């Protein structure tokens, strides 16, 4: 862990006097990290919270997720702004691996509830990132934001096969917490929800494990619950020119408050793994369009070989079938559209019918969902061979603004 001022969770006990209480809304203003991302060799270190873009989008995907969608329960704009300020100050501390508040978990007065819930005491930051997004419903009449709703923040259309649960869909605000330690991610969401009591309420939340995408070429490609490598042909942080083209909102796109930001689409996709597990290896590979062992495109040897959509088998049929997932999702068949996928596996117990309630919590960031997620999903929902094994049961779309500068707060340009 890097050296910086303030009380780290590791050095917390008895150190309350070292906290300097000058932060936003009474939160201890420990100095922020001095600049570039600090990467401990064992992935326990912090990821810089401030910057041009929010962390948690293109920064290397961590192994665990706690995603929460909130409804705003206050009707007062000032209260919402105050909460966003408090959340920002807390997020800067949490991502630096520190307790929140002036006194943290255990150094406050014995008569009052602790400022920090305490379950992360002694744990390192574990690359925690906290990423905020604003849903379409926030731009209704309540907070005077209707004129600031980005044109790209559309309500997602119904897709063929959707079986969405409204209680697992939507949300005024989303916070994505990613970390390599599940306790650190859960602690972050729990404390943000606690700070928000009376102003926001959790609408739904989702835990995820085993990232299903790489967002950096330095990462190995993980596997999803169908056992396939997932994230091979993803946007990666090294593709800087492509990121400007496909991921980050540009000045010309507008609105101003979204420049440097990105749009998040979340889909809770239930995977019928018991049926999948009775499907032959050859059939599974034909459905995805890649080999299960190597992750290579069908007809190729290596994972990162380019897909040859023209290659034919001896019987004249395409090696990568017409209804295979990778063919239908590929930019060549989607007017060049790409996504930065950042999803996680989930298993939420079983469903009472002997089946695991398991799947993929699909998260994808993009510059404009009208040109990216929506047309790609329209095509997939019509023709993807994978549809026999999956069903989309939850959905959200969120405008994630650019990064916070020191002294600023989440959404400051939106509320300016
Ligand atoms: C609308 C976008 C997508 C949804 C929804 C989606 C669901 C989904 N995907 C897999 C498994 C794999 N997807 C793979 C590639 C891939 N998927 C999408 C988009 C959606 N997937 C894209 C854009 C791509 C890349 C296509 C390309 O350019 O080649 C792969 C292959 C490995 C990889 O490149 O990542 C797998 C495996 C599941 C199981 C799933 C729903 C549960
Ligand atoms: Fe996919």
What's this model's pTM, rounded to 2 decimal places?
0.93
CB 175 within 8 A of CB 70: yes
How many CB atoms lie under 10 A from the CB of residue 393?
Answer: 17
For ligand 1, which residues put their CB under 6 angstroms from it? 224, 226, 228-234, 267, 269, 271, 288, 290, 307, 325-326, 329-331, 339, 360, 362, 373, 376-377, 380, 390
Share of the chain above pLDDT 90, in %: 88
Higher pLDDT, 165 or 20: 165
Q: Where are the domains of the chain?
A: 64-100+114-147+157-408
Closest residue CA from atom 7 of ligand 1: 362
Q: How far is the CA of 206 from the centre of ligand 1 (A)?
A: 20
Closest residue CA from atom 23 of ligand 1: 329
Q: What is residue 370's predicted lDDT score, i.e. its pLDDT?
A: 98
Taking residues 102-130, report their average pLDDT.
96
- Cα 301 from Cα 375, distance rounded (Å): 30
- Cα 68 from Cα 198, distance rounded (Å): 16
Confidence of residue 32 (pLDDT cuts 50, 70, 90): very low
- Cα 349 from Cα 81, distance rounded (Å): 37
Closest residue CA from atom 11 of ligand 1: 230
- Whether 33 shows a pLDDT value over 50: the answer reads no
Q: What is the DSSP letter of 391?
A: E
Q: How far is the CA of 339 from the centre of ligand 2 (A)?
A: 10
How many CB atoms lie under 10 A from the CB of residue 8?
Answer: 21
Closest residue CA from atom 6 of ligand 1: 362
Dihedral of alpha carbons 320, 323, 326, 330, sign: positive
pLDDT per residue as tens digits for the range 256-291: 999 999 999 999 999 999 999 999 999 999 999 999
Confidence of residue 7 (pLDDT cuts 50, 70, 90): low
Q: What is residue 212's predicted lDDT score, i.e. its pLDDT?
A: 80
Tell how far CA 113 is from the center of its chain. 31
Q: How far is the CA of 326 from the centre of ligand 2 (A)?
A: 7
Strand partners, 206: 67
Closest residue CA from atom 4 of ligand 1: 377
Q: What is the DSSP letter of 124?
A: -
In Å, how far are 43, 264, 298, 304 from 174, measured between CA atoms? Answer: 25, 10, 38, 33
CB 385 within 8 A of CB 324: yes
Q: What is residue 213's predicted lDDT score, i.e. its pLDDT?
A: 84
pLDDT per residue as tens digits for the range 346-401: 999 999 999 999 999 999 999 999 999 999 999 999 999 999 999 999 999 999 99
Q: What is residue 35's predicted lDDT score, i.e. its pLDDT?
A: 29
Nearest to 71 by CA among 17, 135, 121, 159: 135
Closest residue CA from atom 27 of ligand 1: 330
Nearest to 397 by CA among 378, 369, 377: 369
Q: What is residue 211's predicted lDDT score, i.e. its pLDDT?
A: 86
Q: How far is the CA of 416 from the centre of ligand 1 (A)?
A: 38
Pocket probe mutation, ligand 1, options 341, 364, 382, 397, max atoms within 8 Å of Cβ? 341
Confidence of residue 1 (pLDDT cuts 50, 70, 90): very low
Q: How many residues does the chain have?
A: 416
Pocket probe mutation, ligand 1, options 326, 370, 391, 394, max atoms within 8 Å of Cβ? 326
- Whether 26 shows a pLDDT value over 90: the answer reads no
Please provide the average confidence, as pLDDT, over all residues in the chain: 91
Q: How far is the CA of 231 from the centre of ligand 1 (A)?
A: 7
pLDDT per residue as tens digits for the range 224-238: 999 999 999 999 999
- Whether 36 shows a pLDDT value over 90: the answer reads no
Nearest to 330 by CA among 363, 359, 361, 297: 297
Both structure tokens of 288:
């995805």
Taking residues 304-319, report their average pLDDT.
98
- Whether 29 shows a pLDDT value over 90: the answer reads no
How many CB atoms lie under 10 A from the CB of residue 74?
Answer: 16
- Whether 184 shows a pLDDT value over 50: the answer reads yes
Q: What is the DSSP letter of 64?
A: E
DSSP string, 197-213: TTTEEEEEEEEEEEES-
Q: How far is the CA of 378 from the centre of ligand 2 (A)?
A: 13
- Cα 58 from Cα 362, distance rounded (Å): 15
Q: How far is the CA of 296 from the centre of ligand 2 (A)?
A: 15
Q: How far is the CA of 289 from the centre of ligand 2 (A)?
A: 11
Which residues have CB under 8 Å from 353's CB, separation 6+?
none
Both structure tokens of 332:
């060549």
Both structure tokens of 139:
């731009």
């Amino acid at each position: 862990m890097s050296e910086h001022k303030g009380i780290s969770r590791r050095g917390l006990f008895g150190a309350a006097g070292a906290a300097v209480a000058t932060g936003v809304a009474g939160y201890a203003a420990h100095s922020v990290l001095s600049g570039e991302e600090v990467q401990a060799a064992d992935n326990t270190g912090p990821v810089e919270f401030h910057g041009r873009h929010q962390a948690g989008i293109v920064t290397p995907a961590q192994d665990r997720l706690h995603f929460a969608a909130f409804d705003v329960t206050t009707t007062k704009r000032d209260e919402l702004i105050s909460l966003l300020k408090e959340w920002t100050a807390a997020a800067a501390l949490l991502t630096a691996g520190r307790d929140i508040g002036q006194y943290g978990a255990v150094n406050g007065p014995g008569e009052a509830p602790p400022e920090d819930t305490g379950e992360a005491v002694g744990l390192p930051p574990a690359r925690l990132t906290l990423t905020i997004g604003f849903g379409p419903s926030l731009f209704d009449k309540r907070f005077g934001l209707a004129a600031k709703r980005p044109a790209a923040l559309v309500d997602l259309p119904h897709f063929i096969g959707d079986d969405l649960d409204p209680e697992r869909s939507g949300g005024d605000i989303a916070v994505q917490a990613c970390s390599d330690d599940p306790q650190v991610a859960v602690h972050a969401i729990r404390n943000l929800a606690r700070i928000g009591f009376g102003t926001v309420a959790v609408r739904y939340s989702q835990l995820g494990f085993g990232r299903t995408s790489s967002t950096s070429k330095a990462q190995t490609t993980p596997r999803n619950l169908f056992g396939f490598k997932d994230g091979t042909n993803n946007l990666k942080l090294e593709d800087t020119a492509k990121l400007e083209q496909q991921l980050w909102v540009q000045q010309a796109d507008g609105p101003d408050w979204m420049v440097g930001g990105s749009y998040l689409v979340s889909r809770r996709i239930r995977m019928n793994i018991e049926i999948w597990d009775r499907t032959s290896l050859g059939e599974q590979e034909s459905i995805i369009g890649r080999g299960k062992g190597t992750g290579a495109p069908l007809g190729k040897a290596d994972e990162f070989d380019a897909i040859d959509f023209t290659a034919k088998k001896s019987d004249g049929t395409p090696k990568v079938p017409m209804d295979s997932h990778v063919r239908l999702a590929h930019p060549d068949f989607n007017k060049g559209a790409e996504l930065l996928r950042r999803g996680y596996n989930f298993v939420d117990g079983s469903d009472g019918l002997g089946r695991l309630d398991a799947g993929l919590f699909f998260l994808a960031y993009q510059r404009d969902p009208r040109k990216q997620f929506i047309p790609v999903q329209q095509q997939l929902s019509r023709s993807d061979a994978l549809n026999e094994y999956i069903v989309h049961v939850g959905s959200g779309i969120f405008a994630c603004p650019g990064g916070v500068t020191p002294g600023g707060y989440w959404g400051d340009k939106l509320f300016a």
